[in-house]
Amino acid sequence: MKCGLFVGIALLVVTGLSLGQNKQSTTEQKAEHPTGQSDEKESKQPDRGTTHGPLDILSDTGGMDVHPYLDRVLPLLKHNWYIRVPESAEMKRGKLTVLFYILKDGRITDVHYGESSGDPELDQAAYDGVADSSPLPSLPAEFNCKFLRLQIHFYYNIEVPSEHHPDNMVPCVSTKISSVAPFAIRVSPALAEVFTGAKQRFVATLTGDLNAKVEWRLSGSGCSGSTCGTVSSDGLYSAPSRIPSSPKVIVTAVLANDPTETATATVTVVESPTPH
């Protein structure tokens, strides 16, 4: 049975949202309110702008466009929700919202429900997907406010409302509930010693989406660019002719359509026993 699982986000201007009526998770620990005051006393409205899509911005942004930042954190929230969705959700329908704050250093706090689906399992998967995403990437250095307050919408096997469908981005992601096992990339071998000037084949093994494309990258604390060596589009690593100042080189496989999904292998470049 094919079922649709969606997460939708829409830009929403809210003034004085009462949290007293919100349901809280049974596993939630009460967090210190980032502003030190109740929500009814938040005086500033969020900056108005174009609809971003899957997240409601519920706090003042100081005039800064936070949409590029939200583009970075949404895949993390989405992934952490997907891997927590129970198999029983295949036969269920529901929608809910979760509200939370992102602090300057990326920590998530004050996570709670804005609207419950009425099903504890569906609610808990969404709540944990948000709470366990902490810490997210830090807010941009030029963001001058103390926090960013957001609301995220979750949909289980129901159509996302049209207002959550901006024209300039993919508004939602659907998947079979029966296939929500964690997506994973694994690189093998995970460790390798490679002589200077020699080659080593690395293979990326995918679970969850066998048709996904992988990009390969190199990095190292003692090298950059070609001094780390090179890696081809199919994972063939060529060591440099000289050992970098730090011989450790990291070979990274990146999922092309979701850069948050990565796996790495560590190469130690060693001197070749024969001239090359």
Average pLDDT over residues 175-183: 38
pTM exceeds 0.85, yes or no: no
Instruction: State whether 157 and 195 are in the same domain.
Output: no
Decide which of 122, 146, 179 is a domain's last residue: 179
Instruction: State whether 159 and 233 are in the same domain.
Output: no
Instruction: State whether 158 and 175 are in the same domain.
Output: yes
Whether residue 275 lies inside any domain: the answer is no
User: Looking at residue 271, what is its pLDDT?
Assistant: 92
Instruction: State whether 140 and 190 are in the same domain.
Output: no
Whether residue 26 lies inside any domain: the answer is yes
pLDDT-derived band at 47 (thresholds 50, 70, 90) equals: very low
Instruction: State whether 142 and 36 are in the same domain.
Output: yes
pLDDT-derived band at 170 (thresholds 50, 70, 90) equals: very low
Instruction: State whether 89 and 154 are in the same domain.
Output: yes
Report whether pLDDT(171) > 80: no
Whether residue 62 lies inside any domain: the answer is yes
Report whether pLDDT(145) > 70: yes
Instruction: State whether 130 and 31 are in the same domain.
Output: yes
Of 116 and 49, the one with more pLDDT: 116
Q: What total number of domains does the chain contain?
A: 2
Whether residue 276 lies inside any domain: the answer is no
pLDDT digits (tens, 9 = 90+) for 97-136: 999 999 999 999 999 999 999 999 999 999 999 999 999 9
Report whether pLDDT(17) > 50: no
Instruction: State whether 165 and 204 are in the same domain.
Output: no
pLDDT-derived band at 263 (thresholds 50, 70, 90) equals: confident
Instruction: State whether 260 and 213 are in the same domain.
Output: yes
> Which CATH number goes with the domain that contains 200?
2.60.40.10
Decide which of 132, 148, 179 is a domain's last residue: 179
Mean pLDDT of the chain: 75
Instruction: State whether 231 and 153 are in the same domain.
Output: no
Decide which of 144, 179, 214 is a domain's last residue: 179
Which residue range is the domain that position 217 belongs to?
A: 184-270
Of 270 and 180, the one with more pLDDT: 270
Spell out the SS3 assignment of the chain. CCCCEEEECCCCCCCCCCCCCCCCCCCCCCCCCCCCCCHHHCCCCCCCCCCCCCEEECCCCCCCCCHHHHHHHHHHHHHHHHCCCCHHHHHCCEEEEEEEEEECCCCEEEEEEEECCCCHHHHHHHHHHHHCCCCCCCCCCCCCCCEEEEEEEEEECCCCCHHHCCCCCCCCCCCCHHHCCCCEEEEECCEEEEECCCEEECEEEEECCCCCCEEEEEEECCECHHHHCEECCCCEEECCCCCCCCCEEEEEEEECCCCCCEEEEEEEEECCCCCC
Whether residue 156 lies inside any domain: the answer is yes
pLDDT digits (tens, 9 = 90+) for 192-214: 999 999 999 998 887 655 567 88
User: Looking at residue 239, what is its pLDDT?
Assistant: 95
Instruction: State whether 54 and 91 are in the same domain.
Output: yes
Of 235 and 185, the one with more pLDDT: 235
pLDDT digits (tens, 9 = 90+) for 58-101: 998 888 988 889 888 888 888 888 888 888 888 888 889 999 99
Instruction: State whether 142 and 51 are in the same domain.
Output: yes
User: Looking at residue 167, what is its pLDDT?
Assistant: 38
